[in-house]
Structure 1
């Protein structure tokens, strides 16, 4: 098979992954090849077991087109979702369904010189334990916080290796293509391809977590900026609170909105005698502490709702700036913090009412992600397939995936 034909077959697989179902005419348009050539390549992929017919398109008055999809188990993706404290790893198939349970472990990133080696070892361990042949893994996608240059495969905030780049370090040890990007951008990618931003031209995706990240969808595409650093929403200087931010500046949005601040305010309120279902929360186990706040708020605990609402209002102040600058169709709350659900919407809307020009804000919807905390896992997988046609995946597309025996 020629390298050119292999490239176009990869393109077909990529588009079927993102669209789930397409007709031959759809694929012909997407890969920019004639219908007869596309039909021939598609027929070969069907013959080899990569693609299957999945019914007919909805009737438009004429003959209904046959629709095609990838078989779920033809390839797998290792998806890694990181934040500053917790890392999750799962293996997904071509329908974005997990074929392994999510591996969750604590991996603090700040000032941790052993974090990159520990991450690499854990990825290798998950692959080995899965029983999936590495030749059937399209690659490893990793979402991570920090200043990430996706093109160079480097993180300038965390995980800097002594030599080379993050992707080179991991790939050399696990013998698979590796791709990285900022966690908030991958959450936005997941929302664009599979979630609440699908079909939207201009959307802002807020990643509410230990910081407050931003992924921007402009003109229907993920916007990464000149060097890939676009979206540092956390570090908009909004407050005169003299609180030191993780970036080294003071008064950033993050200092009044992050989930770590929510936990801190909860503990302070409890010490000051606030009546609540909550008990003292452990700052060392932030994930558990935040979940306790969410549970209490879900039961109607006034104090828990108040501290989440205060954070939501301050996020809304930042969102008002985004609306004035970019005029988005929708603002989507995603990531870990989206589990607070509609508790966020009212205070954010209140902030927009107070700080936004009505004509600009009136047509912007505030939505809660349908993907939630799974968004980064989904986005990291999507990153691999976004790069699939030009990746180092060398397996000839002649025999679909298999589980090692």
Structure 2
């Protein structure tokens, strides 16, 4: 994206990231947030402005001294492909840097459990959505995917669903689509969204419970997403609550998710109807 050395490109990316999360900032504020000198930040911001990634937004309100210029990202310069998955369906959209959708969100049925074709189907859905959007692929930063299961963020692997064979899940999709791919557990991403854009922006310690077809927990501790030593902290859906319950995807019996999730409720309803119970 940036035709420069890695060190400078990293600073450019950090500046864009801070503006994306925080809206409008001055060079002195960006200097503090990136831990770089003000002259270096001013030079980087000037380059990003000339390249069309950043725009001036006028002067900040007066605080007694000289009013600084404030900057924001140019919202239609870069785009992000967003993918939200649950056990039965997948939603795909594309947003600009103000989090506005620039393509209609597509909802597709995609069962994850016991579906060896799920990964190839997911990749095809994403590729088709990007093609139909008509956007220049060079303007797309990457693809972010939230999904249920035990997700290793660093290695790009989901140990519960979407087996990619001898490749990582992220590498499999990247090789086909040609864009960077990032995956994370869906509940952790909900917590991250609240931390960056929602009610948790000014709160240090937060627990976010995600109840749907499955049950998940995202945790914010001391203002950061908490993943634990093995990266799977927060999977309280696999806490056993009964000794003789249904077999869970984690290999244990009677987990909370197998007894209280929407999938469990639907399964019990189907069994009840088969046995003549009135719905």
What TM-score, normalized to structure 1? 0.63
**Paired position in structure 1 for 2:129:** 126
Q: Which of 88, 95, 98 pairs up with 1:95?
A: 98
**Paired position in structure 2 for 1:115:** 118
Instruction: Name the CA shift for 1:86/1:63 in 2 (closer, same or farther; >3 Å).
Output: same
Alignment of 1:242 onto 2:245: yes
**Paired position in structure 1 for 2:17:** 14
Shift of 1:272: 5.0
Shift of 1:55: 3.7
Q: Which of 184, 188, 193 pairs up with 2:191?
A: 188
**Aligned residue-pair number:** 273
Shift of 1:100: 0.5
TM superposition outliers: structure 1 runs of 4+ over 6 Å: none
Return the alpha-carbon distance in structure 1 between the equivalents of residues 156 and 245 of structure 2. Answer: 35
**Paired position in structure 2 for 1:154:** 157
> What's the CA shift string for 1:113-170, capped at 9, x where partnerless?
1111111111111111111111111111111111111101111111111221111111
Note the aligned Cα RMSD (angstroms): 2.0
**Paired position in structure 2 for 1:50:** 53
Alignment of 1:167 onto 2:167: no
Return the alpha-carbon distance in structure 2 between the equivalents of residues 161 and 261 of structure 1. Answer: 27
Return the alpha-carbon distance in structure 1 between the equivalents of residues 162 and 15 of structure 2. Answer: 34
Query: Equivalent residues in 2 for 1:14-33 (5 A)?
Result: 14-33=17-36
Alignment of 1:253 onto 2:256: yes
Return the alpha-carbon distance in structure 2 between the equivalents of residues 158 and 240 of structure 1. Answer: 25
Instruction: Name the CA shift for 1:67/1:266 in 2 (closer, same or farther; >3 Å).
Output: farther
Return the alpha-carbon distance in structure 2 between the equivalents of residues 69 and 5 of structure 1. Answer: 19
Return the alpha-carbon distance in structure 1 between the equivalents of residues 265 and 233 of structure 2. Answer: 25
Report if aligned partners of 2:160, 2:249 keep a CA contact under 8 Å in 1: no
Shift of 1:264: 5.2
Shift of 1:97: 0.9
Query: Equivalent residues in 2 for 1:127-146 (5 A)?
Result: 127-146=130-149
Identify unmatched segments of 5+ residues in structure 2: none
SS in 2 for 1:238: coil
> What's the CA shift string for 1:184-224, capped at 9, x where partnerless?
11111111111121121110011111111011101100112
Return the alpha-carbon distance in structure 1 between the equivalents of residues 264 and 119 of structure 2. Answer: 27
> What's the CA shift string for 1:213-269, capped at 9, x where partnerless?
011101100112223211111112234663443433233222342123344566759
> What's the CA shift string for 1:292-348, capped at 9, x where partnerless?
xxxxxxxxxxxxxxxxxxxxxxxxxxxxxxxxxxxxxxxxxxxxxxxxxxxxxxxxx
Shift of 1:87: 0.5
Choose between structure 1 and 2: higher helix proportion.
Answer: 1
Identify unmatched segments of 5+ residues in structure 1: 274-279, 281-405
What TM-score, normalized to structure 2? 0.90
Return the alpha-carbon distance in structure 2 between the equivalents of residues 237 and 61 of structure 1. Answer: 60
Alignment of 1:71 onto 2:69: no
Shift of 1:6: 1.9
> What's the CA shift string for 1:83-128, capped at 9, x where partnerless?
1100011011111111011111011011111111111111111111
Return the alpha-carbon distance in structure 1 between the equivalents of residues 267 and 65 of structure 2. Answer: 62
